[in-house]
Amino acid sequence: MRILSVDVGTGTQDIYLYDSRVDIENGFKLVVPSPTMMVHKRLNEATRRGDAIVLTGVTMGGGPSHWAARDHAKAGFPIYATPEAARTFDDDLARVEADGIKIISADEIATLPDSVTRLELRDFDFAAIRRAFGEFGASLDDLDAVAVAVFDHGAAPPDVSDRQFRFDYLDEHIRAKNRLSAFAFLADDVPSIMTRLGAVVDSSGDVDAPLMVMDTAPAAVLGATLDPRVQARSRALITNVGNFHTLAFRLGPKGIEGVFEHHTGLIDLPKLETLLKALAASSLKHEGVFGDHGHGALIYEQEPLVLGEGDFDVVVTGPRRNLFQEQGSKGEREHRPAPHSPQHPSPHAQLRPYFPAPFGDMMITGCFGLLAAVADVLPELSGPIRESLKGAGGSGTPPWEIA
């Protein structure tokens, strides 16, 4: 059995080719620039040349690509985009045009001169990944499944906050299926409001295998649960500190006990620790996080998660996990004695982080989470996957993912 998993972030896209015939540590992997960083680079090159640009394709991750497109327009050079490509930057196309990006139709593109540089936007380029593996003699023919993770705000109606809209979406799916794989969908089941997930499906026509798409943060958290030290806990507090968004889940025997999401750029370590402690104590309020320009918070289990037990308080993954090293080195924070007793926790005590590296590779954590989600969404593939995941020293099934 062979499954391609692709975790698309802001800085990198992390790619893992699972093969049930070999130990999971020996699976082939790539860590390469993210699609939005690739577009950012090509747009900057076009700006230096003074080229006119037209953006085609589908909705993809913004951030760096948006900044470069806006800078190109500010420099006085023409830049056009189809409506689908333009929604990469904002669902409100009037705002996109306010940045100097002219929205045009596919028919109008045909009338542009050949001197206008064409850039196709997409988060998932299966053909490019297949070529890259092929250069090393690794074929991507006859895959049993493909799994792709991207972050998706969803397309909020004009009169609804996109932050509240995303959190309503999280709440709906947690209540319907209280497990991290609630945010994984087969291609035909992607909610229509999740336009970036849908765009991955739309741009994957050359994939001849079942396709599953998933939100990045739950994939990363699910991957972190495969670390044996995390699996040894009956309850755990896990945070994914991403480049743009920080999301934390509190997990227990019944599934997801609570969650919050904030913008990484608006928090420092003291604020993040305050949020995590409140999530553990079941005292975190949606209004407080939302009012601080975060997405919000949800609490499903009122029984607090006691901190100070064992040798760590919080599991930390994600590209900005070094935020937890601001107040001391990893070793100092990870291995020092508990700064408070479970019975009388100090509100000022620093949390002791644990930095998981499932199967010895932190960078592929999200890919391993995608594999675990495939085992749930495609149960006919679950046997070999779960057997392989036992190699981490655990059960092969995260304790919070058992139906």
- Give the pLDDT score at 44: 97
Residue environment code for 340-366, b if the CB has 16+ CB neighbours within 10 A, otherwise e = eeeeebeeebbbbbbbbebbebbebbb
Instruction: Specify if 393 maps to a domain.
Output: no
| Residue with tokens 């947690």, as numbered in its chain | 174
398: tokens are: 């995260």
Per-residue pLDDT tens for 289-314?
999 999 999 999 999 999 998 899 99
Please answer whether residues 146 and 173 qualify as being in contact, where contact means their C-beta atoms are separated by less than 8 angstroms: no
Per-residue pLDDT tens for 38-85?
999 999 999 999 999 999 999 999 999 999 999 999 999 999 999 999
Please answer whether residues 180 and 274 qualify as being in contact, where contact means their C-beta atoms are separated by less than 8 angstroms: no
Instruction: Specify if 367 maps to a domain.
Output: no
370: tokens are: 């995608």
Instruction: Specify if 152 maps to a domain.
Output: no
What distance in Å separates the CA atoms of residue 277 and residue 306, rounded to the nearest whole number?
Answer: 9
pLDDT at residue 340 is higher than 60: no
Instruction: Specify if 177 maps to a domain.
Output: no
pLDDT at residue 333 is higher than 70: no
Based on the domain organization, do 234 and 117 belong to the same domain? no
What distance in Å separates the CA atoms of residue 257 and residue 253, rounded to the nearest whole number?
Answer: 9
140: tokens are: 């991507």
Which of 179, 303, 311, 339 has the alpha carbon at shortest distance from 232? 311
Show which of 121, 137, 166 is a domain's final residue. 121
Per-position DSSP letters for 83-129, written without gaps between them: HHHHTTT-S-HHHHHHTTPEE--HHHHTTS-TTSEEEEE-S--HHHH
Instruction: Specify if 301 maps to a domain.
Output: yes
Residues 357-384: what's their mean pLDDT? 96
- Give the pLDDT score at 309: 87
Percent of the chain with pLDDT over 70: 91
The domain that contains 114 carries what CATH number?
A: 3.40.50
Show which of 121, 149, 169 is a domain's final residue. 121
- Give the pLDDT score at 192: 93
Instruction: Specify if 268 maps to a domain.
Output: yes
Angle at 225 between CA 278 and CA 191, to 5 degrees: 80
| Residue with tokens 């794989």, as numbered in its chain | 181
Q: How many domains does the chain have?
A: 2
Show which of 105, 121, 137 is a domain's final residue. 121
What pTM was computed for the model? 0.91
DSSP 191: -
Domain that residue 101 falls in? 36-121
Helix, strand, or coil here: 151? coil
Helix, strand, or coil here: 66? helix
- Give the pLDDT score at 397: 54
- Give the pLDDT score at 162: 87
- Give the pLDDT score at 170: 92
Lowest mean pLDDT, pick from 100-109, 183-192, 321-330, 381-390: 321-330
pLDDT at residue 220 is higher than 70: yes
The domain that contains 277 carries what CATH number?
A: 3.30.420.40
What distance in Å separates the CA atoms of residue 25 and residue 357, rounded to the nearest whole number?
Answer: 11
What is the overall mean pLDDT for the chain?
Answer: 90
Residues 206-232: what's their mean pLDDT? 95
Question: Quick one: pLDDT band at residue 22, thresholds 50, 70, 90?
Answer: very high
| Residue with tokens 């904030």, as numbered in its chain | 262
Instruction: Specify if 143 maps to a domain.
Output: no
Instruction: Specify if 322 maps to a domain.
Output: yes
Residue 329 or residue 355, greater confidence: 355
- Give the pLDDT score at 158: 84
Per-residue pLDDT tens for 146-176?
999 999 988 888 888 888 998 899 999 999 9
| Beta carbons within 8 Å of 277's beta carbon, 6+ residues apart | 307, 345, 347, 351
